Amino acid sequence: MRIKSIVPAVVVAVSLALLGFISVAAVKDVPVGIAKFVSHPALDDIERGIVDELTATVPGVRFDLQNANADMATAAQIARKFKSDKVRVAVGIATPTAQALASAIRDIPVVFSAVTDPVAAGLVSSYQGGGKNVTGTSDMTPVAAQLDLLVALKPIERLGHVYNAGEANSVKLAELVREYCGRKGIRLVEATVANSSEVRSAVQAIADRIDGLYLGNDNTVFSAVSAVAEVCLQKRLPLVTADPTSAETVPVLAALGFDYYQMGRATGRIVARIINGEKPGSIPTYFPNSPAEKSLVLNLDVAAKLGISPGADLVAQATSVIRNGAVERRKK
């Protein structure tokens, strides 16, 4: 009798153990490939946000983190690797990397992040729905507001703009800058680059012909933003950018744009939805619009060197103020 009573208990225990093993195995390995176009503070923050969000919400997730180093051939190679490795979701940070993933991968979900105009980039046909296997987040930056900020800090008659004409996102932003200058009667002086090694010389070439410089969210230029800031300080030119993240460590006058870490968290939430069964095509492009997702950085040390005195109202609006070499962060 004792043996008979023990056997069913053993069978039940073994069965439960096997079920537990199967359950754990089912979520043990969720490979997610994340590729960024180049390493700079904004894209690094997006990557960190994605990793943090998925680590907190997806059991068993593991990451393959890749960097194309601003090279399209490398971006294509990474895309082929993700496809061969059969990652659960492939994430492309910045337009060129996202395009490389979407071009090479048709049977695995692709999620883009920090793509200025995913429709113009050919990633999705509309903002309201994803492609068959593609969706993600946009960082369509508020160009007019950023240029208004620059003009408010110093009257501008001749505006400089440096960008990579090979990046679809940068071409779109260049159109918006031209439109703004046309409306405001500002002379626009443009310089284009093909890689980060050309950025310093491009800024130097136009520095004596401009009153201020604007940088949109161009990945190639931002990989050399320290060099840009150095030239602007030497030439006493106000520099306003679209990247608040780098503005806390690089001496630019001001930056207005997105909190890229929060954009990474938002991208991670989309990835989690897909892992949990949603189809990319049913998820519209996400555009950050809450105050918590935007930042204004104002560098009073740089302003003093340029002889600029920002108004008290503008200083009060800043989410981060740099004064005497220290960053003062304020609640949003």
What is the full DSSP assignment across 213-254? EEE-S-HHHHTTHHHHHHHHHHHT--EEES-HHHHTTS--SE
Pair 130, 200 in one domain:
no
| Domain count of the fold of the chain | 2
Task: Please report, for residues 68, 100, 202, 221, 313, the alpha-carbon distance to residue 195 in angstroms, rounded to integers and kept in the order given.
Answer: 13, 18, 11, 8, 38
Q: Are residues 90 and 230 in the same domain?
A: no
Task: Say if residue 271 is in the same domain as residue 196.
Answer: no
Residue-level pLDDT at 14:
41
Confidence at 1, pLDDT banded by 50, 70, 90: very low
Confidence at residue 12, expressed as pLDDT on a 0 to 100 scale? 42
- Going by C-beta distance under 8 Å and a sequence separation of 6 or more, which residues neighbour residue 175? none
Q: Looking at the structure, tell me whether residues 169 and 308 fall in a common domain.
A: yes
Query: Do 115 and 236 reside in the same domain of the chain?
Result: no
Confidence of residue 146 (pLDDT cuts 50, 70, 90): very high
Domain, as residue range, for 188: 143-257+294-329
Distance, CA of 202 to CA of 286 (rounded, Å): 34
Per the listing, tokens 């949109």 go with 216
Helices (H), the chain: 2-28, 41-57, 72-85, 95-104, 143-153, 168-184, 199-206, 219-222, 225-235, 244-247, 260-275, 300-306, 312-317
Task: Kindly state whether residue 253 falls inside one of the protein's structural domains.
Answer: yes
208 and 110, same structural domain? no
Q: Element (H or E) spanning 61, and its range?
A: strand 61-67
Residue 332 has pLDDT above 80, yes or no: no
> How much is the mean pLDDT over the chain?
91
What CATH number does the domain containing 48 carry?
3.40.50.2300
In whole angstroms, give the CA distance from residue 106 to residue 223: 30
Could you tell me whether strands 254-258 and 294-299 are parallel, antiparallel, or unpaired per DSSP bridges? Answer: antiparallel
Residue 131 binned pLDDT confidence (cut-offs 50, 70, 90): confident
Residues 151 and 273 in one domain: no
Same domain? 33 vs 172: no
- Written as six digits, the tokens of 196 are 């980060």
Q: Does pTM surpass 0.85?
A: no
